Chains A and B, each alone.
Chain A
Amino acid sequence: MGLDFKGSPETGFFTSKLDAVIGWSRKYSIFQYPFVTACCGMEYMATSCAHYDVDRFGAGLPRFSPRQADVLFVVGTINQKMAPVLVHIYEQMCAPKWVIAFGVCTCTGGFYDNYAVVRGIDHVIPVDIYIPGCPPRPETVINGLMLLQEKIQNQPNEIA
């Protein structure tokens, strides 16, 4: 937990500590919204189940309402017809929110170089973490989640 000064010396100590506490609490209470469209979904299920047990990172509680989730897990190919739905879900989520692109199709469109598939979801919504692989191994997913936790901890976490 960082204790670095931010802002003026009068308020700096307190706000920076609060900042770190908020970051710490946010990173261990990730409520994820799984947006699962394709074959990566099976890998996502495997990662969520008992053997890999994502929840031990405090990052595994899936919520199927975008208003009660803060991490959008985009798992699988997103095609042009689906893109407006994805954007809609993203816009419904309350801030602060983060996005994980799970698998090569969501990151870049994968091998689908055609009329139907979006060449990476970062063309339509901002992405925080890219998890590569077709499909990614559960270890890669967990690594991606831990990187996201690190990002959440270290970013400015003000109470607006």
Chain B
Amino acid sequence: MAYLAGRMLVSVEAGAPNNGRSADTTARVKYATVRGRRHPYVSAQAVRRWIRDGMVRQGVPASPVTRVGKAQQRAQKANTDADPITYPDDDLFGYMRAGAKKDDDATTLRDSPFMLGTLLSVTPAHPTEDFGVMARGVSEPVLHGHEFYSADLAAPFLLDLPRIGTFTLPNAHGVGRPNYLSQEAALQVARAAALGAGAESFRGQDSVRLPVAERRRRAALLLESIAHLHGGAKQALHYGDRVPHVIVLVPFHGGVNPLTHVITGDEEGLRIRGDVLRGELEAWAGEWEAPVRIGWRPGFRDDLRERFEKECAAEIADRTVVIGHPRTILLELAAEMRDGTTLDHWFEDPVREPVREPVR
């Protein structure tokens, strides 16, 4: 099936999970201006960090990060170990490690199989500035302030399942000179081979691929981490959990996300539209696999849920659409992946009929 497309909604209630650069003594939240109005957002980088941290809490060591550059008075860089064979987070989140030009070091690069958009407020919201003083035991109070807001933030995401645990190799004919492997890369390939990785041709490139059991485990880890998501700034003052309030997941053939307009907003506020979902699924018939998994936290916008369930009554009845708690939906899907009997085909690219030449 290849891709798991989705859209998640995180409802922030009086919070400031991602701050921008502060001005004077006031911490500002990040916002984007859309059609002249302010939409607070949480950057994708921040959410990816929360998910990464969630994986560490599950007992999976994260790739160590080293900061380079500042001491040497050069451009600052922070690199992970760039070892996707040992560290699932390097595998799932990708990296780029640029080698020093003068040393002629190789740049190693891995595209992230997990792609995530910005968690952007679906409706405009006006952050409130909270004015604060620190007056305890000092004669002259210290003034400080910060912004916070309440908003429903939505982001699309896409997980490229066949690419998890699949590492393409440079071919022998690099541009200009033979594309030799660095010692580091060669050792990684050796380690992968020792773990039972096999040779594959992946999307037209030679690659080594970890055994499917390990690849399933890594995909499941990511979903489990989203099921336990928390993190972000200002938790001491604005604690709030970040488990998605609504999450929609569709296994898809191609790297398309048809869910953009399913969770959206208009003048009246948040909208979660069953009719849009039905329309999209119809238009993409044959490109997706049932069921569409929807997680909806009980008590969150019951009015919208009632309407959504009415719009998709037929699909819910025949279980084309399944609704549950986001946590159970994610954990069940993760368990099904780990089990490996029913979803292993998701980890391979779908076989497509070759395109036929038009008959003249």
A and B part of one assembly: no
- Measuring CB to CB, which residues of chain B are less than 8 angstroms from any residue of chain A? none
- Measuring CB to CB, which residues of chain A are less than 8 angstroms from any residue of chain B? none
